[in-house]
Chains A and B, each alone.
Chain A
Amino acid sequence: MNIIITKEDLKKINFFLDKVVSSSLAHSVLLIDRSGQLITQYGNTLDIDILSLSALTAANFGATAEIAKILGEEEFTLLFHKGKSENVYFTAIGEHVIMVTLFDDKTSLGLIRLRINQIAEDLSRTLASIFEEKREVTVSGLQRPS
């Protein structure tokens, strides 16, 4: 599968991310795909290394999915890491995407979870339509480029 995002797609996605950021007081929200590629970021991401964060998040999700399997679960759909002042909340959005929400002690985990739950299903549907409807490029049968 190739992920291709146009300006219109990004507008649709950012509509949901804006809702989360503005209603929950989170710093920022990132959307990344399961292979570790950053799809988009919204809000104030300060001065952090977003690309490494994306790669590590995908790995983190993959690793905990294996833990889930050992316990007889398919996967854990949310993860939460708490620091002294910075926290991060990971949510699976559909099959291919992980939403990463960064927030500090100005807000609470409960509010973050509530706001994300309110948009998760709609965002998941939007992403599914972006990925599946038009952009599935069939590359099987192609030869190695010489």
Chain B
Amino acid sequence: MPFINFSKDEIQCKIVYYGAGFCGKTTNLQYIFAQMGEDTKGKMVSIDTRGDRTLFFDFLSLNLGKIRGFDVRVQLYTVPGQVHYDATRKLVLKGVDGVVFVADSLKVQRKKNIESLINLAKNLAEKGISIRTVPLVIQYNKRDLDGTDSEILPVEILEKDLNSMLKVPSYSASALKGAGVFETLREISKLVVKDVSRKIMLVDQQLK
């Protein structure tokens, strides 16, 4: 649900990072927060437990510059990944304009990725949003573990598991080291802004 403020010529959009527990959603936001300039970012708010697990959500507000004369501000949220925090995930998804699904490349997490994607589809559907139409980008995280003792799945397998039906843009990434993080953010922002611009045009037409 974009919020379009004609009195300030500002558009606010909400992007949610979704995925199974420990897949790297918060790490994505932390990397973005560390790299962005002071003038374009707000504070990063995290509600987590002592064990580094997100309890409620992380929140980061970014200014993306101007589009068609409007200042575009995106608000990035993460959800808690653990299965039993579903009620919290639903709360955070409220009013979402775009989703980044962060998949864990570790082989042992294969099933959890699929479960989390199904959970996302279900929770979006409850809000009347189809996973097939919402702006969505998939990120294959932890690619930096390739060649280490931790066994990771090839991108082709992850694509087949998660993206064979959706066919959305996908990126290999290492949220910890930063590879692919901004590519993911750029793509989802582009999709969301495109979607919002289309909505503005619809509004323009309806108001005329």
Which residue in chain A gives the minimum CB-CB distance to B194?
A145
Partner of B135, one of A38, A63, A145: A145
B145 adjacent to chain A (CB < 8 Å): no
Q: Judge whether A52 and B95 touch: CB under 8 Å.
A: no
Partner of B133, one of A10, A137, A142: A142
In angstroms, Cα B14 to Cα A139, docked, is: 17
Stretch from A28-36, A77-85, A113-121 that touches the partner: A28-36
Could you tell me the dominant secondary structure of chain B's interface residues? Answer: mixed
In angstroms, Cα B14 to Cα A3, docked, is: 13
Interface residues contributed by chain B, number (CB under 8 Å): 41
Q: Judge whether A137 and B199 touch: CB under 8 Å.
A: yes
B42 adjacent to chain A (CB < 8 Å): yes
Chain B residues, Cβ within 8 Å of A19: none
B49 adjacent to chain A (CB < 8 Å): no
> Which interface class (under 10, 10 to 19, 20 to 34, 35 or more) fits A?
35 or more
Task: Say how far B114's CB is from chain A's closest CB, in angstroms.
Answer: 21
Chain B residues, Cβ within 8 Å of A52: 42-43, 45, 59, 61
B141 adjacent to chain A (CB < 8 Å): no
Chain B residues, Cβ within 8 Å of A139: 199, 202
The contact string, 1 if C-beta is below 8 Å from chain B, for chain A 23-53, is: 0000000000111111100000000010110
In angstroms, Cα B6 to Cα A139, docked, is: 20
In angstroms, Cα B5 to Cα A2, docked, is: 11
Q: Judge whether A55 and B95 touch: CB under 8 Å.
A: no
Which residue in chain A gives the minimum CB-CB distance to B196?
A2
A–B complex contacts, Cβ < 8 Å, 5 sampled? A2-B3, A2-B4, A36-B59, A59-B92, A137-B206
On B, residues with C-beta under 8 Å from A are 1-7, 12, 14, 42-43, 45, 47, 56-57, 59, 61, 75, 77, 87-88, 91-92, 94-96, 132-136, 168, 191, 194-195, 198-199, 202-203, 206-207
List 7 additional A-B contacts (Cβ < 8 Å) besides A5-B7, A137-B202.
A3-B4, A5-B5, A35-B94, A36-B94, A37-B12, A56-B45, A145-B135
